Copies of this chain bind each other. A is one copy, B any other.
């Protein structure tokens, strides 16, 4: 039943450009809604909030929400807009906090909140954004949305704490790598799809399936994101290659390479990741290429996308399922083009 990699899938309802055309009014409604939220904050911090919200982000999680709850007419559903605002605000809060920890100065060509103001303000502003996301989530009639969001937030934090602890651990295994990306990235993708389908009133089986789709897409997305640190043209991705080698962050390609190298070389890689010796980034990048690690990582991403597609395959009558399938092509194409 699985598609062979690179074969377009028969369930695709729309071509990608057409699909993103359909999505635009929904994203515009989200932007308009988020804009109105700035004045919901206390006057003294509205400028800070406005600054942190203006990220020009990719709006991946909101897109998943709109597609998971898609109705046949493609009408804008205010509940989905509000849910998208909740999830995007949680995501923004995590970015504000991430930038403190990473000591990042720049995000999307602007100074990070931590840089523009200071670390203390960034900690507190992230907290205020979290709080406001929760407040919005309490505006649904039942406590379900708020509960699911709270659990997801906790899991995202747990994944990030684990990642922090693993920094410089040369022996991190693949199972733990997957556990971390499941928590820190896939969980929010999952809850976006799950709650999107739930608020649209779809049947329980589909809600669960949409959640599983989101989870696998999230895993795939994070593996891809980690991969671009090691294999991509610097101009294209706009960042320096190999920072994960230099800062001792073991990602899938590095774990695969380490476990396959002869012991003397594996030891050199472990020493590099542990920060015991200076990182020879170009050497390891070349090594990854030579060993064919990238093809393998690419295949792991395709496998996750397949798992996600398989979860929603039984629901082809649901317009949402076809749209989710299509959005997964976006990632597929990006990975294939690497």
- Partner-B contacts on A (CB < 8 A): 41-42, 44-45, 48, 93-94, 97, 100-101, 118-121, 123-128, 130-132, 134-135, 137-143, 146-147, 149-151, 153-155, 157-158, 160-162, 164-165, 183
Contact = CB atoms under 8 A, between A and B. Distances in A.
Contact of A124 (B42, B134, B143, B164): B164
Given A143-B146, A158-B41, A153 B165 contact: no
Contact of A158 (B45, B100, B141, B162): B45
Contact of A153 (B94, B121, B131, B183): B131
Contacts of A41: 154, 158
A205 to B, nearest CB: 24
Contact of A157 (B101, B127, B146): B127
26 contacts: A41-B158, A42-B155, A42-B183, A44-B161, A97-B123, A121-B161, A121-B164, A121-B165, A125-B157, A125-B161, A127-B127, A128-B153, A128-B154, A128-B157, A130-B130, A131-B150, A131-B157, A134-B153, A135-B150, A135-B154, A137-B150, A138-B146, A138-B150, A139-B143, A142-B143, A146-B146
Contact of A143 (B45, B120, B138, B155): B138
Given A135-B150, A146-B143, A127 B128 contact: no
A122 to B, nearest CB: 9
Contact of A150 (B132, B151, B157, B183): B132
Contacts of A124: 97, 101, 157, 160-161, 164
Contacts of A44: 158, 161-162
A189 to B, nearest CB: 17
A164 B114 CA distance: 13
A137 B134 CA distance: 11
A157 to B, nearest CB: 4
Contacts of A127: 93-94, 97, 126-127, 130, 153, 157
Contact of A146 (B126, B134, B153): B134
Nearest to A162: B44
B120 A164 contact: yes
